[in-house]
């Protein structure tokens, strides 16, 4: 086993943030080295230095076989370092294949493109990932999950010696994750060194050989994955013990129905979806990638038009035609795609938190009360542990997980009766996750109706009072929450391709 | 990308001033350099009368540029400011001269006409989803034609409306401080700038200006009625163009129906030189003012120096590029 | 379709000057019982746009065409095409360097500007500093008026110095700023010549806004603002052409040409100098417009 | 958002044709409607000679619009196409008339001058990070001035270069097919369109056009030398503008140094009417051609109908908005 990468004494500062303090890290060929830490610990920053995106302020980076560290993405590529960035960085107007081979298009003479070769080679990579996707498909039309898979394919196409995966599975479902791990195992066998970042703790046990933990920009420890209990890793990350007890499911049989959906339809995507949710209830939505959960939520929220069906809020039919109508009716929706649909990246943390509840801070003459906004923002920064130098930092400069917390804060502040959370904990660290679970439970306890869509089955099972399962745009069943429902039962419904009578 | 310059400091006046000093002083740099160079080159440049001439030359373009700034911050563009200005002037002419109504109604007519035109552009953009470039290009042509139609292709003179020319040419400040005969047109420019700045930094409307430019879809999905706000912003911008129409009509003591084409580029140039991003989400009124001043100083200075016309153009082009380059450097350093 | 159709392609249409030409043309059309259209590009640089207009005019099978060329050479192929189709061309305003036009109804702009120079010299006492605010650097009328003025000064008035020639595109606001800059750069200026309506009004505006005194202003063309300034005494006087006459003669010549009548090579529609003393004369009033 | 219209189908000619038919037929709609309406309204409209006049009127603006399309797809904008065209014409004039060199060198001079100007703009944008609006606004002014300086503010005539006027006015097609006297200018427009289309859909340069406009940062992170490609695209665009300069010079048999201002807006309008997004990443040459044709048909048709000129402007503005609106509707339905 050769040592592919050796980093030591790494320093990095941003205005107002000391992001990396004397960090060390190394990587052997044929290993999966997990990099763990809370949101904002500095994981992505460290990896961006290794991949030539950022220049370091101090320390040394040794890459096997090269005298100098990479000073540009191109140089890193030439050294065999590939990276899947945490934030998707794709060209939405191009096709999947064009994205995968950007910068290395198969060419003929005079700069002519060999589009056939491009598509065949991409198809091969997709096949090796067991990914069923047309290389000619437009990237912008794909769901986040599928975009993530394209990013992975792109990184694989470089045939790197060192592959950095920064939260590759944040948007993925169990099935795709399993496929990805299969790919990782093959790469390992070929001697590729893999750096793996994730907040899904169970994955560490499944694939990591070693684990490095970071906290507050500093290196804490590097451990053997097999021999270290998860609890220990979590404690090193968070600096305290994290307890997360599944709650008791309240009896909401007597509660009023908050939202009822009847026969929702939209094009070929959504067929006849009906369900209802009571005040104080948490309804989880499970399903495979593309099952249509996001689409159902967007239709209810008025973000996409519906072709048919009825929406009743507190028993009253409600003609929701825009998010504005929905919020007016007391429905909030947290999107799964924070970058495109959740945040104004070049606005401040404060402005983003207030975005959905501007009325709270506006006088009759339209003047904003900045002091009140600041107070509120500071409150959430503290409550959710948002790591930011101040509430006036641009959201785009926060770490991924901290951005997610800002979106959550935005909807908590809006205080809707019915809240739909689509992948609420995407990219959020273990410690903060349990804090968010607690918040959702509190909201339900206050009588709000909560819908949680999540690709993490354990999350759905942990939170839900009832679990709705979708497959190919149909609601295939609703299961009770709690310990009695098994993963197998959910998966059975999630793959039931015929519409089944909905047992409620 | 710096964050600081883009979002106006939100707290007390002193803080704002401090921030301005800190961030904008350097942006002034190009302006100051120009002023110094021209002063050294010509003894006639740094006279009070010429400084006032420069300010007055800034007034119309400055007001149009402020109007354009609002729309540009939302991520839009407004190509119609020039001909809309003319249209508003013609409407004032119709009300005052053709209908013979009193002066305040003429003012209302110009501003109202602007607001209405803005409302139309805004509706095209927000409701019909027509790209702002096309919606306002269409408006530009429509208003150009309508100005000619309504005026009968001839200027409307305001000779019968005593006091109309004072809107721009009189000097309220000069009456109080005789040594500072700043024309009302300039005063109005600064009042409009102050008001627009306040709206941008302190009100919901301003907040949504930035938010729409930053990520419209995210704002819509926050339950904000983005269409309505966008239309409101275009209408406000139109009303400001109406003020521009009054200023030019008052200065020429007539509504010239054929004027206006080309003014849009100059206004947008001032906005962009002032650091507002054409992709939306960032911008300041003070920057726009500085941008407009840079253009006016440049034009005036080269004319005072009697540089040959063709070289004036070359030098203006080069200095615009240089000024923006210097500003980019400054900002990159600031990070 | 019995009615003869005569399109006029001019250099502009929004200026008052061109509106007056159009009015004259319409008057003649009414008298002769022909149908006319009047069109011109947005500004006098758009040579190719004018060619497109000429092409569209040809498509309508006209009986004759009136044409004020922005660049006489550029239009020659189309003119030739018209000629071959037997469509007579009447040039107006400025001539076309070609023998195709059956006649040209025009003002001698050089001579007119020379007259302006003479008047200026007379008014400032044959010595001093003057400047020109011209409307265009490249258009025929812009060049002729500028050069007519400058040449006359150089040839006959050695004690008069022309300190600056700048251009305001005939836009009143721009011309105002140009004239202000000239006045500020030359505090001892004695006279300013504005080469068309917009330029002249710009000069008047500048003097008014700066409160300059002792500057003799000579203008060109008419229009209400200019005649007012002359009555007020702010402007000493101005040259006026006979735009209505130009339009009228153009259409009449075109009608005659379609009837096969022979025409003189040039129809000089004349120009006049007017000031407070003669502004109300019938002869002058007939050629002023506002 | 539809994907199909933006990226030309990548395989064989037949496929491309099929795709064109399928996707663009409806985009043609506005154009067809205009043609029908004008034909019904005036018997003189649908003559061969008038159709040729329309095509010829499209040629210069079409070529400029194609040049602008490339830059706009990268997410930039080019305000200098109009005056750059003039500059290139003047350079041809200098080489042919002032220096008396043979015709091919004049062609090379015009195209080379354009490529060089594009290279400069591209460098300002890519290397100095000056926003494209400002970089090309500066170039617009610089080139406007330089054209006047170099030509001595007077037209340069090509009378001594026999054959020069044939570049645009001759008709190679007409020699072979006498009943179809399509001028060379139009032929050149279509050749340029074909070449640009090929480059966009089939070459690396084209690929990076779309990629840069789609997500420049992502392209950079993929290890592509984005600066170099961007400069290359601006240079190519400049070379095409050079061809436009030849066309207009040949058509006017002279280089008119004052011409060009205002042409940029018309070119950009054609691009946007043709469905290219000003925010970059999407666009087609065929769309731009249709956009340019819509503008030319509109202008010509209203003239042939003898609509009063002020109303021509109003109607043009309204129809531009309508045409784009219809196109938006079509696309939304297609989804
Ligand atoms: N470009 C930047 N400018 C300013 N601060 C930055 C920048 N990039 C990162 N930071 C800050 O550096 C710190 C480390 O961020 P980083 O993205 O490395 O965290 P992370 O460990 O990847 O977190 P997450 O798990 O949320 O992705 C954070 O506090 C973040 O706000
Ligand atoms: N594998 C796929 N093949 C084709 N289309 C897909 C696929 N996955 C998603 N889609 C598109 O997305 C639509 C529904 O996806 P949606 O995002 O609503 O599902 P989801 O259950 O939220 O899944 P995800 O985990 O991807 O967010 C589908 O109807 C389809 O248009
Ligand atoms: O106003 C001008 C007029 O005086 C001249 O004769 O032609 C050109 C016009 O711009
Ligand atoms: Mg990260
Ligand atoms: Mg989803």
Minimal Cβ distance to A303: which of B7, B221, B225: B221
Ligand 2: distance of its center to the CA of A41 in Å? 32
| A7 inside domain | yes
When pLDDT is cut at 50, 70 and 90, the band that residue B29 belongs to is confident
Domain assignment of residue B197, given as a range: 47-334
Residue A181: CATH number of its domain: 3.40.50.300
When pLDDT is cut at 50, 70 and 90, the band that residue C244 belongs to is very high
* Structure confidence at residue B10 (pLDDT): 44
* Structure confidence at residue D15 (pLDDT): 56
- Region A37-50: what's the mean pLDDT? 95
d(CA D63, CA D68): 9
| D316 lies within 8 A of chain C by CB | no
* Structure confidence at residue B11 (pLDDT): 46
- Region A8-13: what's the mean pLDDT? 95
Ligand 5: distance of its center to the CA of A284 in Å? 13
| B27 inside domain | no
| B24 inside domain | no
- Region C136-141: what's the mean pLDDT? 86
pTM: 0.91
The domain total for chain A is 2
Ligand 5: distance of its center to the CA of A141 in Å? 13
| A101 inside domain | yes
d(CA B161, CA B95): 11
| A36 inside domain | yes
* Same domain for A262 and A152: no
- Region B20-39: what's the mean pLDDT? 76
* Same domain for A309 and A174: no
* Same domain for A270 and A233: no
Provide the mean pLDDT of chain A: 92
Q: Near ion ligand 5, which residues have CB within 5 Å?
A: A 294, 336
| A65 inside domain | yes
When pLDDT is cut at 50, 70 and 90, the band that residue B335 belongs to is low
* Structure confidence at residue D335 (pLDDT): 60
| D115 inside domain | yes
**What's the pLDDT tens digit per position in A436-455?**
898 899 999 999 999 999 98
* Structure confidence at residue B9 (pLDDT): 39
Chain C interface test: which of B251, B252, B263, B316 (most C C-beta within 10 Å) = B252
Which of the pair, D331 or A288, is modelled with greater confidence? A288
When pLDDT is cut at 50, 70 and 90, the band that residue A482 belongs to is confident
**What percent of chain A has pLDDT above 90?**
77
- Region A157-166: what's the mean pLDDT? 94
The CA–CA distances, whole Å, from A144 to A151, A210, A338, B209 equal 10, 29, 10, 28
* Structure confidence at residue A440 (pLDDT): 92
Task: List the 186-245 stretch of D: residues with Cβ below 8 A of C.
Answer: none
Residue B277: CATH number of its domain: 1.10.3470
- Region A239-248: what's the mean pLDDT? 75
**Whose Cα sits closest to atom 2 in ligand 1?**
A397
**Whose Cα sits closest to atom 7 in ligand 3?**
C141
Q: Which residue of D has its CA nearest to A154?
A: D222
Position A497 pLDDT exceeds 80: no
3-state SS, chain C, equals CCCCEEEEECCCCCCHHHHHHHHHHHHHHHHHCCEEEEECCCCCCCHHHHHHHHHHHHHCCCCCEEECCCCCCCCHHHHHHHHHCCCCEEEEECCCCCCCCCEEEECCHHHHHHHHHHHHHHHHCCCEEEEEEECCCCCHHHHHHHHHHHHHHHHHCCCEEEEEEEECCCCHHHHHHHHHHHHHHCCCCCEEEECCHHHHHHHHHHHHHHCCCCCEEEEECCCHHHHHHHHHCCCCEEEEECHHHHHHHHHHHHHHHHCCCCCCCEEECCEEEEECCCCCCHHHHCCCCC
| A249 inside domain | no
Minimal Cβ distance to B153: which of C19, C171, C225: C19
Dihedral of the alpha carbons of B226, B230, B233, B237, in degrees to the nearest 10: 170
Position A499 pLDDT exceeds 70: no
d(CA C148, CA C152): 6
Chains touching chain C, criterion 3+ CB pairs below 8 Å? B, D
* Same domain for A330 and A234: no
**What percent of chain A has pLDDT above 70?**
98
Contacts of B134 in chain D (CB under 8 A): 269, 272-273, 320-321, 324
* Structure confidence at residue A503 (pLDDT): 45
Contacts of C42 in chain B (CB under 8 A): 261
Domain assignment of residue A323, given as a range: 257-494
| D4 inside domain | no
**Which of A209, A238, A267 finishes a domain?**
A238
* Same domain for A194 and A331: no
Residue A480's H or E segment, with its range, is: strand A474-480
* Structure confidence at residue B13 (pLDDT): 55
Lowest-confidence range among B137-141, B147-151, B190-194, C59-63?
Answer: C59-63
Task: List the 336-395 stretch of A: residues with Cβ below 8 A of B.
Answer: 340-348, 350-351, 355-356, 358, 362, 365-368, 370-371, 373-374, 392-394
* Same domain for A160 and A52: yes
Say which DSSP state A15 is in.
T
Position A248 pLDDT exceeds 90: no
| B278 inside domain | yes
State whether the beta carbon of C136 lies less than 6 angstroms from ligand 3.
no
- Region C124-150: what's the mean pLDDT? 93
**What's the pLDDT tens digit per position in B243-299?**
999 999 999 999 999 899 889 999 999 999 998 988 899 999 999 999 999 999 999
**Whose Cα sits closest to atom 4 in ligand 3?**
C196
* Structure confidence at residue C13 (pLDDT): 86
When pLDDT is cut at 50, 70 and 90, the band that residue A258 belongs to is very high
**What percent of chain C has pLDDT above 90?**
73
The domain total for chain D is 1
* Same domain for A186 and A274: no
Residues contacting ligand 2 via CB (< 6 Å): A 143, 145-146, 173, 269, 287, 289-295, 336, 455, 473
The list of chain D residues with pLDDT below 50 reads: 1-11
- Region A11-36: what's the mean pLDDT? 94
* Same domain for A383 and A344: yes
């Amino acid at each position: 086993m050769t040592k592919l990468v050796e980093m030591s004494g790494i320093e990095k500062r941003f205005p107002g943030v000391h992001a990396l303090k004397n960090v060390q890290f190394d990587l052997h060929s044929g290993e999966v080295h997990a990099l763990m830490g809370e949101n904002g610990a500095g994981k992505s920053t460290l990896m961006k230095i290794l991949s030539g995106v950022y220049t370091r302020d101090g320390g040394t980076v040794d890459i096997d076989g090269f005298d100098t560290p990479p000073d540009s993405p191109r140089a890193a590529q030439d050294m065999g370092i590939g990276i899947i960035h945490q934030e998707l960085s794709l060209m939405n107007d191009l096709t999947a294949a064009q994205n995968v081979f950007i910068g290395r298009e198969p060419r003929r003479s005079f700069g002519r493109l060999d589009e056939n070769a491009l598509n065949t080679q991409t198809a091969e990579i997709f096949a090796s990932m067991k990914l069923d996707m047309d290389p000619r498909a437009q990237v912008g039309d794909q769901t986040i999950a599928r975009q993530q898979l394209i990013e992975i394919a792109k990184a694989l196409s470089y045939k790197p010696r060192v592959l950095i995966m920064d939260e590759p599975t944040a948007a993925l479902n169990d099935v795709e994750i399993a496929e990805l791990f299969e790919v990782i195992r093959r790469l390992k066998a070929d001697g590729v060194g893999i750096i793996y970042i994730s907040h899904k703790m169970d994955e560490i046990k499944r694939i990591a050989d070693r684990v490095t933990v970071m906290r507050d920009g500093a290196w804490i420890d590097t451990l053997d994955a097999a021999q270290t209990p998860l609890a220990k890793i979590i404690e090193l990350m968070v600096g305290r013990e994290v307890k997360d007890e599944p709650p008791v499911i309240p009896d909401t049989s007597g509660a009023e129905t908050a939202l009822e959906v009847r026969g929702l339809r939209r094009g070929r995507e959504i067929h006849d979806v009906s369900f209802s949710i009571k005040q104080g209830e948490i309804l989880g939505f499970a399903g495979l990638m593309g099952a249509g959960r996001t689409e159902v939520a967007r239709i209810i929220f008025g973000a996409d038009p519906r072709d048919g069906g009825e929406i009743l809020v507190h028993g009253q039919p409600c003609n929701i035609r825009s998010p504005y109508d929905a919020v007016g009716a007391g429905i909030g929706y947290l999107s799964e795609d924070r970058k495109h649909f959740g945040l104004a990246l070049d606005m401040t943390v404060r402005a983003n938190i207030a975005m959905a509840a501007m009325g709270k801070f506006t006088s009759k003459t339209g003047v904003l009360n900045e002091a009140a906004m600041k107070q509120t923002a500071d409150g959430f920064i503290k409550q959710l542990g948002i790591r930011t130098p101040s509430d006036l930092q641009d959201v785009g400069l926060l770490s991924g997980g901290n951005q997610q917390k800002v979106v959550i804060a935005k909807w908590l502040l809006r205080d809707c009766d019915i809240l739909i959370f689509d992948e609420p904990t995407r990219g959020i660290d273990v410690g903060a996750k349990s804090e968010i679970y607690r918040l959702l439970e509190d909201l339900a306890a206050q009588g709000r109706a909560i819908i949680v869509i999540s690709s993490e089955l354990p999350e759905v099972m942990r939170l839900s009072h009832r679990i709705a399962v979708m497959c190919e745009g149909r609601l295939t069943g609703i299961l009770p929450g709690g310990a009695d429902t098994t993963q197998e039962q959910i998966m059975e419904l999630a793959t039931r391709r015929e519409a089944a009578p909905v047992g409620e | 990308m710096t964050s600081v310059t883009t979002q106006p400091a939100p707290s007390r006046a002193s803080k704002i001033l401090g921030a301005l000093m800190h961030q904008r002083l350097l942006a002034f740099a190009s302006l100051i350099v120009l002023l110094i160079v021209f002063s050294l080159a010509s003894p006639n440049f740094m006279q009070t009368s010429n400084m006032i001439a420069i300010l007055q030359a800034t007034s119309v373009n400055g007001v149009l540029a402020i109007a354009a700034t609002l729309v540009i911050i939302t991520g839009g563009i407004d190509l119609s400011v020039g001909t809309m200005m003319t249209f508003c002037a013609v409407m004032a002419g119709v009300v005052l001269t053709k209908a013979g109504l009193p002066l305040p109604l003429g003012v209302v007519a110009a501003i109202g006409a602007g607001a209405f035109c803005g409302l139309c552009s805004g509706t095209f953009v927000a409701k019909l989803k027509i790209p702002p470039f096309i919606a306002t290009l269409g408006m530009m042509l429509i208003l150009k034609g309508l100005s000619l139609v309504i005026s009968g292709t001839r200027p409307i003179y305001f000779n019968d409306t005593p006091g109309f020319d004072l809107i721009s040419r009189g000097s309220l400040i000069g009456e109080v401080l005789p040594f500072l005969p700043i024309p009302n047109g300039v005063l109005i420019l600064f009042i409009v700038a102050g008001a627009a700045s306040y709206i941008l930094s302190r009100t919901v409307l301003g907040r949504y200006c930035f938010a729409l430019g930053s990520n419209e879809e995210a704002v819509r999905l926050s339950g904000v009625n983005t269409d309505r706000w966008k239309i409101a912003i275009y209408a406000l911008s139109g009303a400001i163009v109406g003020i521009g129409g009054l200023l030019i009509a008052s200065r020429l003591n007539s509504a010239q129906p054929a004027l206006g084409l080309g003014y849009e580029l100059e206004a947008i140039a001032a906005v962009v030189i002032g650091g507002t991003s054409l992709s939306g989400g960032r911008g300041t009124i003070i920057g726009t003012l500085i941008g407009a001043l840079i253009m006016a100083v440049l034009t005036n200075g080269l004319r005072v120096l009697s540089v040959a016309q063709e070289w004036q153009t070359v030098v203006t082009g080069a200095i615009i590029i240089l000024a923006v380059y210097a500003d980019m450097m400054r900002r990159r350093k600031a990070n | 379709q019995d009615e003869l159709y005569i399109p006029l392609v001019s250099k502009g249409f929004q200026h008052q000057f061109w509106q007056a030409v159009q009015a004259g043309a319409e008057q003649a059309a009414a008298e002769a019982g022909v149908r006319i259209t009047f069109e011109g590009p947005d500004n006098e640089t758009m040579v190719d746009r004018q060619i497109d207009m000429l092409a569209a005019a040809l498509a309508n099978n006209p009986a004759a065409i009136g044409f004020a060329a922005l660049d006489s050479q550029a239009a020659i192929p189309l003119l030739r095409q018209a000629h071959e189709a037997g469509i007579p061309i009447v040039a107006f305003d400025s001539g076309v360097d070609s023998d195709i036009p059956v006649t040209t109804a025009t003002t001698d702009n050089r001579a007119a500007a020379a007259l302006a120079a003479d008047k200026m010299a007379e008014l400032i006492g044959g010595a001093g500093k003057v400047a020109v605010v011209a409307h265009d650097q490249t258009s025929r009328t812009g060049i002729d008026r500028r050069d007519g003025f400058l040449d006359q000064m150089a040839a006959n008035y050695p004690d008069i110095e022309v300190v600056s020639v700048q251009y305001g595109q005939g836009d009143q606001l721009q011309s105002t700023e140009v004239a202000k800059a000239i006045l500020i750069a030359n505090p001892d200026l004695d006279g300013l010549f504005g080469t068309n309506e917009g330029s002249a009004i710009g000069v008047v505006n500048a003097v008014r806004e700066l409160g300059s005194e002792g500057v003799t202003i000579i203008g060109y063309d008419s229009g209400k603002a200019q005649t007012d300034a002359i009555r007020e005494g702010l402007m000493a006087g101005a040259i006026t052409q006979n735009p209505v006459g130009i339009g009228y003669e153009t259409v009449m010549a075109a009608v005659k040409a379609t009837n096969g009548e022979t025409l003189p090579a040039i129809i000089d529609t004349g120009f006049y100098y007017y000031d407070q003393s003669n502004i109300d004369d019938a002869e002058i009033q007939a050629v002023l417009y506002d």
